[in-house]
Amino acid sequence: MGGEMSGGKHRVVVVALENVLALDIGIPLQVFGSWPDGPYTLTVCAEQPGLVAMHGGPVLSVSDGLDALDTAGTVIVPGYLEPDPPSAAVSAALAEAAARGSRMVSICSGAFALAAAGLLDGRRATTHWQYAAALAKQYPQVAVQSEALYIDEGQVLTSGGVIAGLDLCLHLIRRDHGPRLANQRARLLVAAPRRTGGQAQFIDLPVPPDPDDGPAPVYEWALHNLHQPLTVDQLARQAGMSRRTLIRRFHADTGRPPMRWLLDVRLGLARELLESSDLTVEAVARRCGLGTPANFRTLFKAHVGVPPRAYRVTFNSAPHSEA
């Protein structure tokens, strides 16, 4: 991989788009930039050198333009406020950097910039869970996985919001130099040494689409009947649509097929109940329509990344005798 500087240091270039999110850009700056004796050098660039608006912080003063990507070993695009496609110049610069062999990385909504440059086509990718449906809708050729903390597709890596970006940066160090150096860096940053990319983002209960839009009443109906063994045919009858039309509308509205949407809202409700109630696991499973306690535990760990008890201990301060 290119981007090796004198002394063997790997060059990381962070692209600051307009209204870059302060926390998102702060993560790679802290991980790679404040490390004088580390194996990386860090440069921040922008489409136009000068002052760049930063959401959640003061304006950035950036001295390097997009030509900084010419010698980048790793390019990181942090999230930005309105995840619209960047300019043609930015998209072209990102595509050219990838073609030269640079490792391409996004944090949060920075995935939209990589997608606009065609770098996520045919690949799995993630972003902040709030943006996942929009990313899937705007770029249907991308296999969006909204729950993952980060996804490593080799040359192209994407992460969810904020802290998931820290997880991904530490993963890059681990990939480049092994666990010892990554763990040392994590300790210095007072961060978890490793959260695997497959661990789920902890997300809010999905909200139904606008009630004035198409089959929205069926979403509300489903949310009130999660304890029932719902099927696609039942949802289609409730919506007054054919099975095929319902599936198509679910994809358009949520970016997911109906049964996957049902599983996500059931798991979302389970998270909410584990956080805010003292219901037993059996009661939570029953309330959410997730089957037996054993089945619930298996599904919860597979999709959230931790068992129900561990989740409850993390997010519910009340004492519990079981989970």
Residue ranges and CATH numbers for the domains of the chain are 6-188 (3.40.50.880), 216-315 (1.10.10.60)
Query: What does the block give as tokens for 173?
Result: 């160090």
Q: Letter for the amino acid at 138?
A: Q
Q: Does the pLDDT at position 323 exceed 50?
A: no
- 3-class DSSP state for residue 275? helix
Q: Whole-prediction pTM value?
A: 0.65
Exposed/middle/buried for residue 229 (C-beta within 10 Å: 0-12, 13-18, 19+): exposed
Each residue of 131-180: pLDDT tens digit? 999 999 999 999 998 878 899 999 999 998 778 898 899 899 989 998 88
Task: Extract the runs of DSSP E, i.e. beta strands, from the chain.
Answer: 10-15, 20-21, 40-45, 50-52, 54-55, 60-62, 74-77, 103-107, 124-125, 143-144, 150-152, 156-159
pLDDT at position 197? 45
Across the chain, mean pLDDT equals 86
pLDDT at position 223? 85
Contact 191, 166 (CB under 8 A): yes
Each residue of 73-97: pLDDT tens digit? 999 999 999 888 999 999 999 999 9
The pLDDT confidence band at residue 273, using thresholds 50, 70 and 90, is: confident
Residues contacting 146, CB < 8 A, separation 6+: 126, 127, 129, 132, 133, 201, 203, 255
pLDDT at position 125? 96
Q: Does the pLDDT at position 321 exceed 50?
A: no
pLDDT at position 271? 84
The pLDDT confidence band at residue 250, using thresholds 50, 70 and 90, is: confident
Q: Does the pLDDT at position 232 exceed 90?
A: yes
Counting every residue written for the chain, the total comes to 323
Q: Does the pLDDT at position 290 exceed 90?
A: yes
Q: How far apart are CA 279 and CA 27, in angstroms?
A: 38
Give whichever of 117-131, 205-219, 261-275 has the largest mean pLDDT. 117-131
pLDDT at position 45? 98
CA–centroid distance for 270 within its chain: 21
What integer is the mean pLDDT of 10-30? 96
Each residue of 93-126: pLDDT tens digit? 999 999 999 999 999 999 999 999 999 999 999 9
pLDDT at position 191? 59
